[in-house]
Structure 1
Amino acid sequence: MIITTTPSVEGKRVTAYKGIVFGEVISGVDFIKDFTAGLSNFFGGRSGTYEDELIQAREQAIEEMTQRAANLGADAVVGVDIDYEVLGANNGMLMVTASGTAVCIE
């Protein structure tokens, strides 16, 4: 399946629009991750712990969106947008949402 942020797939023609599809992931950040990220913040540098969590959440959201498009019989998802948000009383949850338009192409 082709996944793209562009509104079309170069060299392909959209033959059917199947609808908007979403993939959502809400991931909790635990005490250990907070602690190691705090050390990175204190000593400087990047927080590999949070980066790994973000990458994993994004990949899961895209996979969920792709599966929903496949269930509709789509060949591609165009106009993909990825959004990030923190949730919870202490901002301890990360929400990643992937959305796009499921289409058939030829």
Structure 2
Amino acid sequence: MIVTTTNSIEGKQIEQYLGLVSGEVILGANVVRDFLASITDIIGGRSGTYESKLAEGREMAVQEMVKKARNMGANAVIGVDLDFETLRDGMMMCIATGTAVKLKE
């Protein structure tokens, strides 16, 4: 399945717009990771543990969105947007949204 942030796909014609699809994931952080990330923040540098958690959340949210699009009969998702939010108690949320479409074969 084609998944893109653009509103069209070069060389492809959209046959039908099927509607909005989204995938939401809430991930928890743990005390050890938070402690190590705070040390990284103090001394500078990148927090690899949080970066990998963000990547994991993004991938899971996109996979959930694609699954919903397939169930609608789509073969592509266009206009994809990713949002990340920090929730209370070290929780974070990743949301992937887009428009499910059927492309001409």
- Quick check: TM above 0.5? yes
Are 2:102 and 1:101 aligned? no
Structure 1 spans left out of the alignment, 5+ residues:
none
* Residue identity opposite 1:70 in structure 2: R
1:1-44 superposed Cα distances (whole Å, 9 cap, x missing partner): 00000001111010011110000001111101101101111221
Aligned match of 2:31: 31
SS of residue matched to 2:102: strand
* CA apart distance, 1:73: 0.8
* Residue identity opposite 1:57 in structure 2: G
SS of residue matched to 1:63: helix
Aligned match of 1:50: 50
Larger mean CA deviation between 49-58 and 34-43 belongs to: 34-43
- For the aligned residue pairs, the C-alpha RMSD in angstroms reads 0.8
SS of residue matched to 1:61: helix
Q: Measure, in 2, the Cα distance between the counterparts of 1:51 and 1:81.
A: 18
Aligned match of 2:7: 7
Are 2:59 and 1:59 aligned? yes
SS of residue matched to 1:74: coil
Runs of 4+ aligned structure 1 residues displaced above 2 Å come to none
Structure 2 spans left out of the alignment, 5+ residues:
none
TM-score (norm 1): 0.95
Q: Measure, in 2, the Cα distance between the counterparts of 1:33 and 1:72.
A: 38
Q: Measure, in 1, the Cα distance between the counterparts of 2:11 and 2:20.
A: 22
TM-score (norm 2): 0.96
